[in-house]
Structure 1
Amino acid sequence: MSAELVVAAIQMTSVDDVATNITQMEELLEEAFRKASPRFVSFPENCLYLRLKEGEKIEGLTVSHPAFAQLADLAKKYNTYLHLGSVPLYLEGHLYNSSLLITPEGEIHPTYQKMHLFDIQLDGQAPLRESDVFRHGQTPNLIEVDGFKIGEAICYDVRFAELFSQYARQEVDAILLPAAFLVKTGEAHWEILLRARAIENQSYVIAAAQGGTHQGLRGGTRETYGHSLIIDPWGTVVGQIEKRAPGVTISKLTRERIESVRRQIPMKFHRRLPVG
């Protein structure tokens, strides 16, 4: 079991074309490894494909898609774990907004399917509906990297604390929250929700985001908030990308920091579940 884990959160400006996004991912991985040697790299929601025309049919992927083989080669090249925040993935005949983990050996594992789908209507803006194409995921999921227990969530999940209470009871070391937050909701809610999740779970939060102006190859545009963050168990921001454009932030997660916070405020001994 490692005492520390070096992680990178990668911010992208993805579009509606897999090949274009793969090229961007390669460039950002190269940038990350010029700065450090992260053992774990987190990409944002919709990293391989971002729908930019609302209502447009999404051509889902399967794990046999050549894009995953390309990324598996990169994981082996850099000897690192690659976490794809989400891709449109077919599993058992259904399309999910799903995370995948690619190991340093190049193994490809679908892991978590987004439970809370983004069906919203902001004042003065067109409605957005993920459920018109995706099926709801059903269960939380943990992954393990060098002995660190990591809980998974995606974007809109951040608003539903009951999901994270399950991770708190399992004493996860970190939570992944890849996202493609809108600018309006990002300005109002992004950082405060992420810091709350870190504080209530006494765990790190790694939030790789989409950021910038997305121009679709087939028309359509979208603005996302960016501001990717890495937050420690005390709620302190230890890594961030302040611009709304592609970039990389790297931080070291340590067991010492996790244990220090939990020793000072031993929440696991105080937690009570409501009855009835």
Structure 2
Amino acid sequence: MRAALLQITSSDDPAENLKAVRDLVREAVGEGAEIVCTPEVTNCLSTSRTHQKAILHHEADDPSLVALCEIASEMKIWLFIGSLALKTHDGDGRFANRSFVLNPEGKIVARYDKIHMFDVDVSKEETYRESDGYRPGTEARIVRTPFGCFGLSICYDVRFPHLYRALAQAGAEVLMVPAAFSHVTGAAHWHTLLRARAIETGCFVVAAAQTGTHPASHGAKRKTYGHSLVVAPWGEILADGGTDPGITYVDIDLKEVESARRRVPSLSHDWSFEGP
């Protein structure tokens, strides 16, 4: 299968972001992509909860989701929407950070809500409290396609290896890690974490990323790391998108999953132990 990873610099204007993504999807299909992957919060990257409340939608009437379903159907591709920021009906008003998998008929075949919330103090100047605005998901998800079985995750999830082990043991051959990774933590940890998840599970890792300094009409601007990455099951980096917006292409042969797992069958070597 040929996959295309879209690397974008989303603003806090969903209509503007949608236009950019549409153009990139068409370009990717023109280059032979059968699977197209977008990064986390494809529709809106914003630090302002007030602005998000004003411009975000519920899933049922989100214009970005409707349009992306249409383009998946038109282009006859599998479209992995890294995530959309969406309103929910939760009493506390928190949003969902939700991935979607669309089939070539433009139908939603899987959803995944980000489980692990990015509540960190990177430095005195850079702090995040994702759980203030987003409610965490509670369910891991895999999706089976004609190309293979995919395990879904989002960004900060990558620091929790037990999630990926569970996805691989449930059948995942490709792990999706769409992200809007902090520039600081990305430079320190991004490549290492993604390679580790691939090696531990014998899976391909496909990580479409946000990049650069994100325009903001409200709230502070964010800077993300970029480097959309594809890692093979043996740990080799097959593609690195660098820091510029654009498309990264990779041809994936799932026979490499079988080969890596045969050489080191660690997924079947779990052993019970007593806690420390």
Q: Same fold (TM over 0.5)?
A: yes
Shift of residue 238, structure 1, vs aligned partner: 0.9
- Number of the residue aligned with 2:82: 85
Between stretches 136-145 and 193-202, larger displacement belongs to 136-145
SS at match of 1:215: coil
Q: Does 1:19 align with 2:18?
A: no
Q: How does 1:1-276 map to 2 (within 5 A)?
A: 5-35=1-31, 37-53=32-48, 55-59=49-53, 60-61=56-57, 62-91=59-88, 93=90, 95-109=95-109, 111-218=111-218, 220-242=220-242, 244-275=243-274
CA distance in 2, matches of 1:273, 1:248: 44
**Residue type at the aligned position of 1:187:** A
Select between 103-112 and 125-134 the one with higher mean Cα deviation: 103-112
Q: 1:150 to 1:110 in 2, by over 3 A?
A: closer
Deviations 1:160-215 (A, max 9, x none): 11211211322311000000011110000000000000000100000000001111
* TM-score, normalization by structure 1: 0.91
Q: Which amino acid aligns with 1:49?
A: C
**Secondary structure, counterpart of 2:52 in structure 1:** coil
Q: 1:263 & 1:30 partners in 2: Cα distance?
A: 38
Q: Is the 8 A contact 2:51 2:218 kept in 1?
A: no
> Partners in 2 of 1:30 and 1:145 — Cα distance?
21
Give the Å deviation of 1:219. 5.3
Q: Is the 8 A contact 1:83 1:102 kept in 2?
A: yes
User: 2:95 aligns to what SS in structure 1?
Assistant: strand
- Report the 3-state secondary structure (helix = DSSP H, G, I; strand = E; otherwise coil) of the residue aligned with 1:249: strand
Q: Alpha-carbon deviation of 1:119?
A: 1.0
SS across alignment from 1:189 = helix
| CA distance in 2: counterparts of 1:57 and 1:113, whole angstroms | 21
What TM-score do the two structures reach when normalised by structure 2? 0.91
Structure 1 residues 273 and 143 mapped into 2: Cα distance closer, same or farther (>3 Å)?
A: farther
Q: Deviations over 1:93-117 (max 9, x none)?
A: 4631111122210113551111111
- Offset at residue 52 of structure 1 (A): 3.6
Which segments of 5 or more consecutive residues in structure 2 lack a partner in the other structure?
Answer: none
Shift of 1:269: 3.3
Structure 1, unpaired ranges of 5+: none
**Matches of 1:121 and 1:74, distance apart in 2:** 39
Which segment is superposed worse, 12-21 or 258-267? 258-267
CA displacement at 1:10 relative to structure 2: 1.0
**Partner AA of 2:145 in structure 1:** V
> In the TM superposition, what is the alpha-carbon distance from 1:156 to its structure 2 partner?
0.5
Secondary structure of the residue aligned to 2:43 is: coil
Distance 1:273 1:204 in 2: 27
Aligned length: 269
What per-residue deviation string (whole Å, max 9, x for no partner) do you get for residues 197-249 of structure 1? Answer: 0000100000000001111133531111000001110111112211x221111
Query: 1:68 touches 1:108 (CA, 8 Å); kept in 2?
Result: no
Question: Which consecutive aligned stretches of 4+ in structure 1 deviate over 3 angstroms post-superposition?
Answer: 90-94, 273-276
Q: 1:52 to 1:135 in 2, by over 3 A?
A: closer
